[in-house]
Amino acid sequence: MIHTQDITRPSKHLIEALRNIGAATVAGTLGHMGFRNPHMVGPLAQSRGKSIVGPALTLQFMPQRPDLFNEGEYVDPETQLHRHVLYHVQEGDVVVVDARGDMSSGVFGDMMSTYFKGRGGAGIIIDGCMRDRPNVEQLDLALWLRGWTPNYHVQTSIYPNAVNVPIACGGVTVIPGDIIVADDDGVVVLPVAMAQAVIDEAQKHHEWEVYSRIKLLEGASLQRYYPLHPDATDEYEAWRKTNPKS
């Protein structure tokens, strides 16, 4: 079992600038930059309308192997690594768990989730399951999961192996400290080094898209207004001068 140090968190101005940029826009912008699929396949939003942006704390599970893991010796709570990722949580952090897509192990339950909320965590992403659904739902956390199970985290075939190491979650590589952008569309992983470029491109896209949406609602040409055709640029710039806050 591996313990690692805390993450390096991105600057707060990057996090704040991303709050109004949805997962779809971040994913699409990254796609044009060569990141073909930054979207996690598997974890789904458990509460509609919630969105989060924050740095990733990671937890890695591995298949159980008797010479590496024996639950009979797992009697000291401090050897339970799923606890240790929560010890690192600061306000706004996102816990991301590679649970190997396992549908029979509840990575966290009621009490761990209560601790996470008390620490000010932003949300939990698990390529797998949680347990204690009725009590956890009362906490009103932002969760993206594959599902729920009554089993505890090492009851079946996996065990927590490492904290704050690179993981694969939902088919996407997650480096500790990566920025997680998640909403009803799903979970997107944004490398910190790409964040400012994504913000800049997304802002440009947002500005002309507002105008395009207005024109499309008026029944105007899709070919001309989405994406905005170069022939419509002067028209858009004129509109922008009279609508600077749009």
Q: What is the mean pLDDT of residues 198-205?
A: 86
Average pLDDT, the chain: 92
The SS3 assignment for 54 reads: strand
Report the range out of 57-66, 67-76, 203-212, 232-241 with the highest average pLDDT: 57-66
Instruction: Determine which helix (DSSP H) or strand (DSSP E) holds 118, and give its type and residue range.
Output: helix 110-118
User: What fold does the segment set 12-190 form as a domain?
Assistant: Glucose Oxidase; domain 1 (3.50.30)
Angle at 118 between CA 45 and CA 161, to 5 degrees: 65
Q: What percent of the chain has pLDDT over 90?
A: 76
The answer to whether the CB of 124 falls within 8 A of the CB of 142 is: yes
Structure confidence at residue 76 as a pLDDT band (50, 70, 90)? confident
pLDDT tens-digit readout, 25-38: 999 999 999 998 99
Structure confidence at residue 237 as a pLDDT band (50, 70, 90)? confident
The residue count of the chain comes to 246
pTM: 0.89
Structure confidence at residue 3 as a pLDDT band (50, 70, 90)? low
Domain boundaries, the chain: 12-190, 196-242
